[in-house]
Chains A and B, each alone.
Chain A
Amino acid sequence: MKIKREDVLRVAELAHLSLDDAEIEMYARQLDSILSYVEKLNELDTSGVEPMAQVLASTDGEANPAAREDAARPDGAAREVLDRAPEAAPPYFRVPKVIER
């Protein structure tokens, strides 16, 4: 198996996901199966191929400039956004303390 328990734990940490033991085992198996499948991309020679990072540049680059004018547009939404937060102390979101490791 390509993917071991430590790999799942490392990825879960990066993704801020808490998983129980059964989940770790299940995801290890499933990720392994999927990652083995995607290996087939290595059958293709992609040297000299530019990654397709922008879609419109590829489909209609002429009508669609890659960048737009950098102009700020205030929309006054902050209040409404804070109203929906689990815990807010406007203009802040209130969260538990960060523990330094």
Chain B
Amino acid sequence: MIGNGKRWTVKEIRAALEAKQVSARELAIEHYARIERRNPELNAFLALSPERAYTQAERVDALVARGEPLPSLAGVPLAVKDVISTRGIRSTCGSRILEDYVPPYDATAVARLEAAGALILGKTNCDEFAMGSSNENSAFGPVRNPVAPDRVPGGSSGGSAAAVAAGLAVAALGTDTGGSIRQPGALCGIPAMMPSYGRVSRYGLIAFASSLDRIGPFASSVRDVAAVMQVLAGHDPADSTSAETPVPNYLAALDKPVTGLRIGIPRQYFGEGMDSGVRRSVEAAIERLKGLGCRPVELEMPHTDYAIATYYLIATAEASSNLARYDGVRYPLRVPAATLGEMYRDTRGRGFGAEVKRRIMLGTYALSAGYYEAYYLKAQKVRALIARDFAEAFEKADLIVTPTSPVPAFRLGERTADPLQMYLADIYTVTGSLAGVPGISVPCGKTSEGLPIGLQIFGPAFGEAQVMQLAHAFEQAAG
């Protein structure tokens, strides 16, 4: 039952545990066996934590043996992106500068998952400090897309997406700053959720851009995404940007009918630059939603075209500030030098990869004296206009549907020559990042070459329940 590569769901695990058909320990053994078989090729995992996973499995199996009620994610094998702190497990952020860093604490998200009974299998590979859209910027090698191993899984949460897509984990945590959960979900063909800003605590998330970063789940079904979201969501006093907005029951909302929901279709997301296979698939998806009783509403979101420029000024400025702490003083990489200044420069010069340095410099420039108003401040104002586009759109529509990515998974090395070209692949995702709203990518088809395509659904801030409700209905209708 286990050994045939079966894709478990949260519900199936619970039922099998309660019926004593499988133990949490067996689930851990099976998933580690799969990782051993496929990780050398995929490079999805950077570190494994069997001691922790088996200790947790023991706890879960003891509850089963005593006939006690099981917590909501009991026995669920999970992976965690390497930018998220895990006590005692090396957390590198895909960077040499943290290659030997072992956090002394767990991120709140990790603590909550473990309290819910999940088995933390290990840490997944990602673009360095979450900066990238292909997982080619990791200091520890790229991740390969399980659907097509000569292609990228997307980024920056490429490892987490690949792990779930390949059945190496039942669910995984990623982070999304400009698209880094949604886009890999689309490229690997699995549901992937970016919650509203502040919905999930950032305590323990090693910061890239503090006003944009969010933790969110990958899973093999929207139902499982909702199950993980239920555990992650909620106020955390340890994160000063954590929202006190109440958390609804996501699973209860999932099966509500979607007839009559107004789905906004913004003209600006359907212009040029979209692969024809993606366009066909997304248009067919919209037809399917209409078939479910959703009412399409045409929208204008006039500042869409300015989102990439806005994002790459704000995110890089915040990154330049957040990454200033990696200077050889407190964290493991230190390049010895005669003076403090040289130590800073050499440690950072050696420890950071090219994309990270590029963004730090761009951000430093945008914040520097004489340029701050023209770049950073200007971008913050345009950000307000982009947020306003969403607020106005949500007066006319309940949800907004767009493609997740203009292109399907591209080949390794195909887009690495020109950084700006890589940035432009984020056009559909960065808008929602800037506005603070939630968004999910749900698989909606494949190209003629068999490459997955994702449909993105945006909701109003703290509207995750309805986002997942529509995604679930869509997924079920696809069959």
Contacts and interface: CB of A to CB of B under 8 A. Distances in A.
B72 interface: no
B312 interface: yes
Interface stretch (B124-132, B134-142, B183-191, B323-331): B323-331
Given A44-B303, A64-B244, A96-B343, A34 B362 contact: yes
Given A17-B345, A46-B382, A86-B332, A96 B361 contact: no
Interface stretch (B218-226, B265-273, B333-341): B333-341
A18 B343 contact: no
A30 to B, nearest CB: 6
A11 interface: yes
A95 B306 contact: no
A89 to B, nearest CB: 13
Given A17-B360, A40-B309, A55 B329 contact: no
B439 to A, nearest CB: 13
B245 A63 contact: yes
Interface residues of A, number: 54
A98 B104 contact: no
B384 A84 contact: no
Given A44-B382, A58-B436, A18 B349 contact: yes
Interface in B359-407: 360-362, 364-365, 368, 375, 377-385, 387
B100 to A, nearest CB: 9
Contacts of B437: 59
A33 B423 CA distance: 12
Contacts of A10: 368
Nearest to A38: B309
By DSSP majority rule, is chain B's interface helix, strand, loop, or mixed?
helix
Contact of B461 (A17, A27, A60, A77): A60
A31 B245 contact: no
A49 B385 contact: yes
Contacts of A83: 104
Interface in A1-34: 7-8, 10-12, 14-19, 23, 27, 30-31, 33-34
Given A38-B313, A44-B385, A60 B365 contact: no
B339 A98 contact: yes
B322 interface: no
A81 interface: yes
Interface in A33-52: 33-35, 37-38, 40-44, 46, 49-52
B375 A96 contact: no
Contacts of A42: 378
A16 to B, nearest CB: 4
B243 A58 contact: no
B383 A52 contact: yes
B243 A63 contact: yes
Nearest to A82: B330
Given A52-B387, A56-B241, A77-B104, A14 B329 contact: no
B362 A41 contact: no
Contacts of A53: 380
Interface string A72-92: 000001001101111100000
Interface string B146-183: 00000000000000000000000000000000000000
28 contacts: A15-B360, A17-B357, A33-B419, A33-B420, A34-B312, A34-B420, A35-B362, A37-B309, A38-B313, A40-B305, A41-B379, A46-B381, A50-B381, A51-B383, A52-B381, A52-B383, A52-B387, A55-B436, A59-B198, A64-B244, A83-B104, A84-B330, A86-B328, A87-B334, A93-B329, A95-B329, A97-B339, A99-B339
Interface of B: 101-102, 104-105, 196-198, 211, 240-241, 243-246, 303, 305-306, 308-310, 312-313, 320, 324, 327-334, 336-346, 348-349, 352, 354, 357-358, 360-362, 364-365, 368, 375, 377-385, 387, 418-420, 423, 434-437, 461-462
